[in-house]
């Protein structure tokens, strides 16, 4: 829209108002409403061969390619785009400016309930110079992931591999996950975290209930007190869990009994064993030590100096 010179300011503002109202309404005057009924805005370009599920809302100036499959109840906010052989599971949300998929051989697959933030790019061609144009490349993302604004996740660099993101991950703003990375479940990547190609992020041994780990080789770093608070644990319960953790994993030199003996003593402790949360933690530890499991992450040894 162009404003003529010399037009009064109020007239210009009124014209701008009409312009933006036109962008948000269809030919018949319908509003772009993201609801269970679904809606495709007249300015959106949705290829006739695309498969669009029930209750999908596609906002103004969106693009949906010919090989795209969109699950039920997905929401594409204005100016978001889905290209190539891409599949979105149910209840996925693409915020304004998000781009998912690329017109390349291969595929980009997302599970259900994923959120792609403003101007994030997911499923683009990798930046590996060894990638051969025309070779199939792949990206697979699980369920319940929150991928925030300006993040980028690239497809694999070769047809025999795949970039993989698991479930329940929070990938904060401006993160980058390069080709052929393997990301597990329930990870949090802070703002501007950068992963080069072929990085594997996972915990090689089990983490017992209520605990947290950190480090390049994951080590136990105590109880997840903030998580316990958020889930309604009382101060008394948290103090009891902290005491139990110290008795199991941080014994004094005056008590050099074996790990199994310390665990058994705790389970029979007159006071601590009366807390269901403490017993739940000890059961989780025993489960981690079962023959068919991987064992427990090592305890971090603090430097007294």
What residues are labeled active site?
Answer: 179-180, 197
DSSP string, 116-130: E-TT-EEEEPP--TT
Output the CA angle 142-147-152, nearest 5 degrees: 100
Distances in Å between the Cα of 298 and the Cα atoms of 206, 221, 239 are 10, 9, 22
CA atoms within 13 A on the CB side of 97: 9
Report the distance separating Cα 76 and Cα 62, nearest Å: 7
The β-bridge partners of 121 are 99, 152
DSSP string, 212-252: EEETTTTEEEEE-HHHHHHTT--HHHHHHHHHHHHHHHS--
Residue matched to tokens 């990085």: 199
User: Pairing state of beta strands 152-154 and 121-124?
Assistant: parallel
User: Pairing state of beta strands 176-177 and 39-40?
Assistant: unpaired
The secondary structure of the chain in percent helix, strand, coil, rounded to multiples of 5, reads: 20, 25, 55
> Which DSSP symbol is given to 41?
-
């Amino acid at each position: 829209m162009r404003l003529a010179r010399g037009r009064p300011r109020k007239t210009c503002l009124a014209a701008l108002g009409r312009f933006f109202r036109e962008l948000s309404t269809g030919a018949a005057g319908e509003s772009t409403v993201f609801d269970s009924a679904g809606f495709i805005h007249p300015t959106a370009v949705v290829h006739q061969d695309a498969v669009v599920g029930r209750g999908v809302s596609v906002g103004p100036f969106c693009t949906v390619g010919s090989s795209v499959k969109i699950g039920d109840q997905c929401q594409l906010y204005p100016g978001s785009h889905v290209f190539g052989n891409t599949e979105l599971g149910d209840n996925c949300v693409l915020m304004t400016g998000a781009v998912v998929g690329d017109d390349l051989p291969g595929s980009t697959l997302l599970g259900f309930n994923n959120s792609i933030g403003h101007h994030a790019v997911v499923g683009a061609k990798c930046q590996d110079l060894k990638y051969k144009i025309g070779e199939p490349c792949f990206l697979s993302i699980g369920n319940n992931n929150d991928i925030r604004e300006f993040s980028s996740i690239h497809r694999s660099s070769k047809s025999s591999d795949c970039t993989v993101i698991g479930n329940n991950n929070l990938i904060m703003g401006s993160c980058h996950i390069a080709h052929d990375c393997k990301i597990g479940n329930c990870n949090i990547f802070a703002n501007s975290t950068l992963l080069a190609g072929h990085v594997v992020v996972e915990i090689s041994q089990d983490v017992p209930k209520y605990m947290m780990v950190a480090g390049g080789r994951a080590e136990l770093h105590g109880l997840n007190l903030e998580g316990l608070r958020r889930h309604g644990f009382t101060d008394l319960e948290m103090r009891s869990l902290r005491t139990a953790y110290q008795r199991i994993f941080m014994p004094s030199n005056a008590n050099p009994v074996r790990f199994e003996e310390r665990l058994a003593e705790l389970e029979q402790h007159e006071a601590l064993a009366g807390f269901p949360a403490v017993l739940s933690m000890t059961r989780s530890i025993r489960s981690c030590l079962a023959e068919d499991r991987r064992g427990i992450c090592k305890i971090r040894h603090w430097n007294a100096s």
